[in-house]
A and B are shown apart, each in its own frame.
Chain A
Amino acid sequence: MPDIKVTPLGAGQDVGRSCILVSIGGKNIMLDCGMHMGYNDDRRFPDFSYITQNGRLTEFLDCVIISHFHLDHCGALPYMSEMVGYDGPIYMTHPTKAICPILLEDFRKITVDKKGETNFFTSQMIKDCMKKVVPLNLHQTVQVDEELEIKAYYAGHVLGAAMVQIKVGSESVVYTGDYNMTPDRHLGAAWIDKCRPDLLISESTYATTIRDSKRCRERDFLKKVHETVERGGKVLIPVFALGRAQELCILLETFWERMNLKAPIYFSTGLTEKANHYYKLFITWTNQKIRKTFVQRNMFEFKHIKAFDRSYADNPGPMVVFATPGMLHAGQSLLIFKKWAGNEKNMVIMPGYCVQGTVGHKILNGQKKLEMEGRATVIIGTLDVKLQVEYMSFSAHADAKGIMQLIRMAEPRNMLLVHGEAKKMEFLKDKIEQEFSISCYMPANGETTSIVTNPSVPVDISLNLLKREMALGGPLPDAKRPRTMHGTLIMKDNSLRLVSPEQALKELGLSEHQLRFTCRVQLHDPHSDNDTLGRIYTHLKSVLKTYSIQHVPDGTVIVESIVIKVTSSAEEPNLKVILLSWSYQDEELGSFLSTLLKKGLPS
């Protein structure tokens, strides 16, 4: 029985280092290759030794697909391809291909240059890795090899985020990556057609959340920022350079404009301008409204938002600063946080999900004292957290409602959850199984789920046979009296052809073997031979209502292709011998008739 096997190496009942192995129709595919923000040790990357203990991965993987540029989905890519070793194709969309190396380089700098780690991938490795990338366009069917094809759909999570459909023969899997089912200020909503995959692998970050309306969240956010700025406080918004940052920038920009506010807004890294440039060039990946108006007004040219300089952090007075990275685990955002944490007038707004182990996660859980690590993870002191900590979910993930909506769109036969916390997954799994009556799986890392598929078998049918059948049977089978079609399936050189038996004989150079049966039945019937035959004809006519029966003048009765004759000897004219002869093709009827006639004729 064919099956699809799924093994998460990361993101199984967890968020971070997404990496899922899928085996389908003899092909092995790696979906995403991310890092874990919560760890600084080996656990940071997926455990590739699961695939093979020694050596390179190339011969074990047919392709690698990256869903979007967030590091928890692509952060381990250079490590995997250059340090473990993989030379096959890596697929990602154009925007991901453009932005991914920048974030990887950023990540490398923080890890190597700031934290002083060694044995990490180098800039050159990032470049070499990116050379293996094949760009994907939306909805384009990419033939990885003769059997394996992949197709990308819009996921709406960040610029260039994609869901992918993987297809081998008639079996298919859809992997969502991270996605968002509600359009926002700069991106559209995820969309997929009714592709009925055997398995849908979905993220489940917000498996139990049904988020209140986006408008309320935005109003809340603006109110909090406004209040803090009014009382002279500073607002820190840790973000990733691309993604939510642009969304919040558009939000604040329009608010500042409307309210005529003067407090400065800064964006921390040099990446911003570059980032915004990407948005301008990849405007076809943003939402309808931005695309429509971009010639007149480009939404990514901000008037109020300026570049940040490190020295500004000590400036007096209110300000709003967007700083990277988003989970306060390193870099500029953490530096600013340390500076501002002691003042209760200030505020930090966490607009996205924080994985376990990050400072972001700790303060969201109400931790008021933080141990601070210096270089090489030596603890150098504690930090009192006095500033206000706010959490506002602006992550562009689908909530429970969105996940259910996607299931309705794609109509999968099975469901598998990744990229979420086990407890929340459990809840969503029950809900999915109840509502859609499909199996739902949630394997942990390293655990394999196997899904049995039931593919129909495509076959080439000879047009003659098909046309004959369609003419005889009509387009739809009659439930009461289905017509059975008979054909011969020829299996040769990987081709499957269904032809009529006659054609099969001819094609294979075989001659037909006639199997015939003859049966003599003795019967006492005081009539002439011809009358007896006539009586047989009438009798059969009444019994076999649906068969073609002919009384031929030369002294035979023919039922379908069965020949019946009557003879008698001169000595005993009343003892008739009925001769029945049929071929194997009429075996059932012939057998029936011989038994029937043995019982005699009705008087």
Chain B
Amino acid sequence: MKLYCLSGHPTLPCNVLKFKSTTIMLDCGLDTTAALYFLPLPLVHSPRLSKLPGWVSKDGAVNLEKKELLDLSTIDVILISNYHCMMALPYITEHTGFTGTVYATEPTLQIGRLLMEELVTFMERVPKAQAATCWKNKEIQRLLPGPLKDAVDVWSWRKCYSVQEVNSALSKVQLVGYSQKELFGAVQVTPLSSGYSLGSSNWIIQSHYEKVSYVSGSSLLTTHPQPMEQSSLKNSDVLILTGLTQIPTANPDGMLGEFCSNLAMTIRAGGNVLVPCYSSGVIYDLLECLYQFMDSANLGSTPFYFISPVANSSLEFSQIFAEWLCQNKQSKVYLPEPPFPHAELIQTNKLKHYPSIHGDFSSEFRQPCVVFTGHPSLRFGDVVHFMELWGKSSLNTIIFTEPDFSYLDALAPYQPLAMKCVYCPIDTRLNFHQVSKLLKDIQPLHVVCPEPYTQPPPAQPHRSDLMLELQPPPMAYRRCSVLGLPFRRRYERIHLLPELARSLVPSEIKAGVSVATVSAVLQSKDNKHVLQPVPKPAPVPPSKKRKRVTEEPPEVLNPKPLLSGAVPLEPFLAMLHKNGITEVKVEETADGHILHLQTEDVLIQLEEDATHIICDNNEPLRTALRDLVLRFLQKL
């Protein structure tokens, strides 16, 4: 059993597990931090940006964390844990010869589709005049200026996929529900609620005797998704742990409070608030929080704008996944009311959504206002326009809530900047404190995790509380590691056919322990094993058999059971007596007794662990004696 680690990024994992002749990919996250090396893609021509000195390439690039560790066409199954961890799917399923199945929950599929479509739209609506790739050559890259020459693995940066590729990739998804047991060969995979986002899941990968838990992006906070299911993770042989919080020092609730107060301060001063964010996820919680906060802060009339090609779909989809929401939201649907209050914000015109800044938005928007828009890297999407528009005024504020990008790097091309910058990263994923408590509860035998989790953050080397300390220590992986997973397998599941089971004769060896000898024919197929009865030739009655035996040797080599126990002297003598053998001379020896059956001239040596019958010319007597001895012994 092996684990191939294709991504070293702790929150955008991509691992491949080889388990019982099945090749399973766990997630395929797309690391888009490479976009920070590029200049923003403006929606309208920006004289400022185009006049910036330096290398101007606008390759809509993405860094695909994979290497040719193994042949992607051999992957049987891809398990997706949440919509953020599937963004590289088209790169895997298209043009690699992939023929397997992708398993994901319905919200993961639908919202993942939206996020992919959004990414594609962002890229495609500002077509680039030229695309450059030659610079990726190591010799040229070496000569390039600034951070670009130090960028690693630029050869793995790819061009963004197309809508066709997205559709084709997603057509390979098979929907699963929480706790649905999906069989794949001898392996059963089951998604469990992970509490992080709509439809987000952890996975159990198990056979009858081995259990691997894959924990990726889980949350114990009460936000909108169904709470994390923990008890099913118990008794794991191996637990693969990824997707912990990226900002272990920030408390999400505190950040939310800071978010609100900064927002209120800016609006009161007459400025606008820009929130660069993804189109699904924390934005639902932000809207819900603001829904309550704005009225209490007397800012009820401030308009919210949500601008994204998929804004409408994201808001609509969030309302139809009642089954995947927390109890409190679920019960709203029974009334029936929409589970998220943003429905009411839309109805009362407090929240408006637009596909882009073009069209209706430009004529309808009022200031001061709050704008939610993507992309959080500030390199593409409508957010680029707002940076240009609002960056010059110190009245305005940009509030970063997504933890995926360094906000300073994100802001770099916009400097100098007059607008206020507030960093309130909200990452609801497990922190180290929560995860160590969780691991204590569920007690996996071994934990596998990305290397960064086994040491304190580089910036805070003294914070030993910000790492995993476990006994036995976790098995750490980095990109391109191949780990052998420790399993001690001793048993396998086999099925006895009913006819065979019925023919068994159990006998009690000790109190509560019975044994039965099983003689059967084994049939194995697809890692499934069945025992069936030994096909007839029926046992021929003994008299006949002997006649036949003289003609040909015994056909089937039927192994006899092992014997155990002892033959006690007195009862054995009594038994002989009962069977008409009366003249027995008993002689004591060092290890037991020798019985001399005088009339028949047969010797029987009885010892504690052995019986020896010496009988010359009387086969019927020998077999009779044999059966008498066997009566005292247990057969195994």
Stretch at the interface among B284-292, B440-448, B548-556: B548-556
- Cβ A295 vs Cβ B612 within 8 A: no
Q: Is A435 an interface residue (CB 8 A)?
A: no
B residues less than 8 Å from A482 (CB atoms): 521, 534-535
- Residue of B504, B521, B609 near A513 (CB, 8 A) is B609
- Cβ B336 vs Cβ A463 within 8 A: no
Known: A94-B323, A497-B491, A595-B550. A514 touches B609 (CB 8 A): yes
- Cβ B180 vs Cβ A491 within 8 A: no
Q: Is A552 an interface residue (CB 8 A)?
A: no
- Cβ A513 vs Cβ B610 within 8 A: yes
B residues less than 8 Å from A519 (CB atoms): 614-616, 622
Q: Is B345 an interface residue (CB 8 A)?
A: no
**Cα-based distance from A585 to B634 in the complex (angstroms):** 14
B residues less than 8 Å from A501 (CB atoms): 517, 561-562, 636
Known: A460-B493, A491-B516. A511 touches B564 (CB 8 A): yes
B residues less than 8 Å from A283 (CB atoms): 320
- Residue of A138, A282, A591 near B177 (CB, 8 A) is A138
Known: A501-B517, A595-B549. A585 touches B323 (CB 8 A): no
Known: A457-B501, A505-B636. A281 touches B338 (CB 8 A): yes
Q: Is B492 an interface residue (CB 8 A)?
A: yes
- Cβ A470 vs Cβ B524 within 8 A: yes
- Cβ A594 vs Cβ B619 within 8 A: yes
Known: A491-B513, A513-B609, A515-B626. A587 touches B322 (CB 8 A): no
Q: Is B523 an interface residue (CB 8 A)?
A: yes
Interface readout for B511-555 with A: 1 if CB under 8 Å, 0 if not? 011111111111111000111101100000000001001100110
Q: Is B121 an interface residue (CB 8 A)?
A: no
- Cβ A492 vs Cβ B512 within 8 A: yes
- B436 CB, nearest partner CB in chain A, Å: 28
Known: A488-B636, A492-B512, A591-B619. A281 touches B319 (CB 8 A): yes
- Cβ B497 vs Cβ A456 within 8 A: yes
- Cβ A456 vs Cβ B513 within 8 A: no
- Cβ B619 vs Cβ A489 within 8 A: no
- Cβ B520 vs Cβ A485 within 8 A: yes
- B618 CB, nearest partner CB in chain A, Å: 10
Can you give 25 A-B contacts (C-beta < 8 A)?
A: A135-B330, A137-B177, A137-B178, A280-B320, A281-B322, A295-B316, A460-B491, A462-B491, A483-B522, A484-B534, A485-B531, A486-B517, A486-B519, A492-B512, A501-B517, A510-B565, A514-B609, A517-B613, A587-B560, A588-B558, A591-B549, A592-B550, A595-B550, A598-B617, A599-B550
The range of chain B's interface size is 35 or more
- B497 CB, nearest partner CB in chain A, Å: 5
**Cα-based distance from A547 to B634 in the complex (angstroms):** 28
- Cβ B510 vs Cβ A508 within 8 A: yes
**Cα-based distance from A456 to B622 in the complex (angstroms):** 39
- Cβ B619 vs Cβ A595 within 8 A: yes
- Residue of B515, B520, B549 near A508 (CB, 8 A) is B515
Known: A497-B491, A511-B609, A520-B616. A485 touches B333 (CB 8 A): no
**Cα-based distance from A154 to B490 in the complex (angstroms):** 39
- Residue of A97, A140, A458, A517 near B493 (CB, 8 A) is A458
- B333 CB, nearest partner CB in chain A, Å: 5
B residues less than 8 Å from A595 (CB atoms): 546, 549-550, 619
- B432 CB, nearest partner CB in chain A, Å: 32
- Cβ A140 vs Cβ B180 within 8 A: yes
A residues less than 8 Å from B317 (CB atoms): 295
- A517 CB, nearest partner CB in chain B, Å: 5
- Cβ A94 vs Cβ B333 within 8 A: yes
Interface size on A, residues (CB 8 A): 86
- Cβ B515 vs Cβ A477 within 8 A: no
Known: A512-B562, A512-B564. A477 touches B521 (CB 8 A): yes
B residues less than 8 Å from A510 (CB atoms): 509, 564-565, 634, 636
User: Top 8 A-B pairs ranked by shortest CB distance?
Assistant: A514-B610, A501-B562, A460-B491, A461-B494, A456-B495, A510-B564, A588-B554, A513-B563
Known: A484-B521, A502-B562. A98 touches B336 (CB 8 A): yes
Other 19 A-B pairs with CB < 8 A, given A461-B494, A486-B561: A97-B334, A98-B334, A137-B178, A137-B323, A295-B317, A458-B496, A459-B493, A463-B491, A466-B492, A484-B519, A487-B517, A489-B504, A491-B513, A491-B516, A514-B611, A515-B612, A520-B614, A591-B619, A595-B546
- Cβ A277 vs Cβ B613 within 8 A: no
- Cβ A135 vs Cβ B518 within 8 A: no
A residues less than 8 Å from B322 (CB atoms): 94, 281-282
- Cβ B534 vs Cβ A505 within 8 A: no
Q: Is B439 an interface residue (CB 8 A)?
A: no
Closest to B618 in A: A519
B residues less than 8 Å from A547 (CB atoms): 553
Interface readout for A274-285 with B: 1 if CB under 8 Å, 0 if not? 100110111110
Q: Is B629 an interface residue (CB 8 A)?
A: yes
**Cα-based distance from A138 to B610 in the complex (angstroms):** 62
Known: A591-B549, A599-B550. A463 touches B180 (CB 8 A): no
Closest to B520 in A: A485
Q: Is B419 an interface residue (CB 8 A)?
A: no
Mark B residues whose CB is within 8 Å of A.
106, 176-181, 190, 208-209, 312-313, 316-317, 319-323, 330, 333-334, 336, 338-339, 489-498, 501, 504, 506, 509-510, 512-525, 529-532, 534-535, 546, 549-550, 553-554, 556-567, 609-617, 619, 622-623, 626, 629-630, 633-634, 636
- B36 CB, nearest partner CB in chain A, Å: 32
- Cβ A517 vs Cβ B336 within 8 A: no
**Cα-based distance from A518 to B560 in the complex (angstroms):** 18
- B188 CB, nearest partner CB in chain A, Å: 10
Closest to B493 in A: A458
**Cα-based distance from A588 to B619 in the complex (angstroms):** 12
- Residue of A281, A462, A498, A504 near B490 (CB, 8 A) is A462
- Residue of A135, A282, A473, A518 near B612 (CB, 8 A) is A518
- Cβ A140 vs Cβ B316 within 8 A: no
A residues less than 8 Å from B496 (CB atoms): 456-459
- A469 CB, nearest partner CB in chain B, Å: 5
Closest to A485 in B: B522
- Cβ A505 vs Cβ B562 within 8 A: yes
Within 8 A of B (CB), among A572-603: 584-589, 591-592, 594-596, 598-599
Closest to A593 in B: B553
- Cβ A284 vs Cβ B564 within 8 A: no
- Cβ A484 vs Cβ B493 within 8 A: no
- Cβ A492 vs Cβ B513 within 8 A: yes
- Cβ A584 vs Cβ B560 within 8 A: yes
Closest to B316 in A: A295
Closest to B550 in A: A595
B residues less than 8 Å from A455 (CB atoms): 498
Q: Is A408 an interface residue (CB 8 A)?
A: no
**Cα-based distance from A518 to B557 in the complex (angstroms):** 21
Q: Is A493 an interface residue (CB 8 A)?
A: yes
**Cα-based distance from A91 to B421 in the complex (angstroms):** 51
- Cβ B519 vs Cβ A485 within 8 A: yes
- Cβ B614 vs Cβ A518 within 8 A: yes
- B363 CB, nearest partner CB in chain A, Å: 23
**Cα-based distance from A487 to B561 in the complex (angstroms):** 8
Closest to B315 in A: A295
**Cα-based distance from A459 to B497 in the complex (angstroms):** 11
- B205 CB, nearest partner CB in chain A, Å: 15
B residues less than 8 Å from A138 (CB atoms): 177
- Residue of A294, A461, A585 near B492 (CB, 8 A) is A461
Within 8 A of B (CB), among A127-175: 135, 137-142, 151
**Cα-based distance from A274 to B334 in the complex (angstroms):** 10
B residues less than 8 Å from A589 (CB atoms): 553-554
**Cα-based distance from A514 to B546 in the complex (angstroms):** 24
Q: Is A378 an interface residue (CB 8 A)?
A: no
Closest to B516 in A: A489
- Cβ B522 vs Cβ A469 within 8 A: yes
- Cβ B611 vs Cβ A295 within 8 A: no
Q: Is A539 an interface residue (CB 8 A)?
A: no
- Residue of B489, B498, B562 near A463 (CB, 8 A) is B489
